[in-house]
């Protein structure tokens, strides 16, 4: 009974203290949560087996860092540059600023910028002005396309269709570079240097030798030798038959002349 009376008195005293702290905060025009946290952060109030834990402080979450966009291959194109269709027009150079802005790359689409980038890469490796279909030009076009796919996939990594197109373009460029390296090594080095391509050699073929593989290889060699032996015998038969027909034809012609 005495324990219950003591418990009630402790609760009443704590409630009265909270009311007084609220009134004090309102009088001092201080935020209520600061006063309550300051007053309740003291020692625990305990009465027998009952204890009031201190309030949990909820700190503000850290600011999330924004992901920086990857550096694009089109970032070196100045926005004041005119588009390809209007660069050779002399009237576009003498117009007012508003018209120049409309005809510049500042308001151009991504496809127009990519087209201009392709032309810049082609101009680095082409042999002459009329060269539009050589291996070097094809490698330059594929390089601009591959880099565009890479930038797109860094933002949209679940785009499987464009990933497949990028891998197909990479394989095609590898084949072209391999053939160019075998045919003209100087041009191959120039293309890799001008376009910033690092050519890596394919891995050497390696197969683990097993007893089954050795037995299969020996059997294939045995079958090949047997087939070659049969072909040689068939060839001898055909030659002998042709020789007999030639001798019979020669004797027949000799008999007819006599």
Inside any domain, residue 95: no
Q: How many domains does the chain have?
A: 2
Q: For the segment 100-144, what is each residue's pLDDT rounded down to a tens digit?
A: 778 888 888 888 888 889 999 999 999 888 888 899 999 999 999
Inside any domain, residue 44: yes
Inside any domain, residue 89: no
Neighbours of 116 (CB within 10 A): 19
Could you give the dihedral angle defined by the CA atoms of residues 132, 138, 142 and 144, in that order, rounded to the nearest 10 degrees? -40
Q: Which domain covers residue 125, as residue numbers?
A: 109-195
Task: Kindly report the CATH number assigned to the domain that includes residue 129.
Answer: 1.10.287.10
Of 151, 150, 144, nearest to 166 by C-alpha is 150
Contacts of 87 (CB under 8 A, 6+ apart): 81
Domain stop point among 154, 173, 195? 195
Helix (H, G, I), strand (E, B) or coil at 226: helix
Inside any domain, residue 85: no
Inside any domain, residue 201: no
Inside any domain, residue 256: no
With beta carbons less than 8 A apart as the criterion, state whether 74 and 147 touch.
no
Inside any domain, residue 82: no
Q: For the segment 35-75, what is each residue's pLDDT rounded down to a tens digit?
A: 444 444 444 444 455 566 666 666 666 667 776 666 788 88
């Amino acid at each position: 009974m005495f324990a219950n009376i003591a418990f009630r008195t402790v609760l009443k005293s704590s409630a009265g203290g909270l009311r007084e702290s609220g009134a004090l905060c309102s009088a001092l025009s201080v935020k209520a949560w600061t006063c309550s946290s300051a007053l309740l952060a003291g020692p625990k109030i305990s009465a027998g087996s009952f204890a009031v834990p201190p309030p949990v402080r909820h700190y503000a979450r850290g600011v999330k860092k924004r992901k920086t966009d990857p550096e694009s291959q089109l970032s070196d194109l100045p926005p004041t540059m005119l588009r390809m269709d209007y660069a050779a027009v002399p009237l576009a150079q003498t117009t007012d600023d508003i018209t120049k802005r409309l005809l510049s790359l500042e308001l151009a689409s991504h496809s127009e910028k990519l087209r201009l980038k392709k032309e810049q890469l082609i101009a680095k490796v082409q042999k002459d002005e009329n060269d539009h279909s050589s291996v070097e030009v094809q490698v330059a076009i594929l390089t601009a396309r591959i880099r565009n796919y890479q930038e797109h996939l860094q933002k949209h990594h679940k785009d499987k269709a464009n990933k497949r197109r990028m891998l197909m373009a990479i394989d095609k460029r590898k084949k072209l570079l391999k053939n160019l390296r075998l045919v003209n090594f100087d041009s191959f080095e120039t293309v890799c240097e001008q376009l910033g391509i690092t050519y890596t050699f394919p891995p050497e073929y390696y197969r683990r030798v097993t007893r089954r593989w050795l037995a299969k290889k020996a059997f294939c060699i045995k079958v090949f030798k047997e087939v070659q032996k049969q072909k040689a015998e068939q060839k001898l038969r055909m030659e002998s038959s042709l020789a007999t027909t030639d001798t019979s034809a020669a004797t027949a012609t000799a008999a007819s002349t006599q």
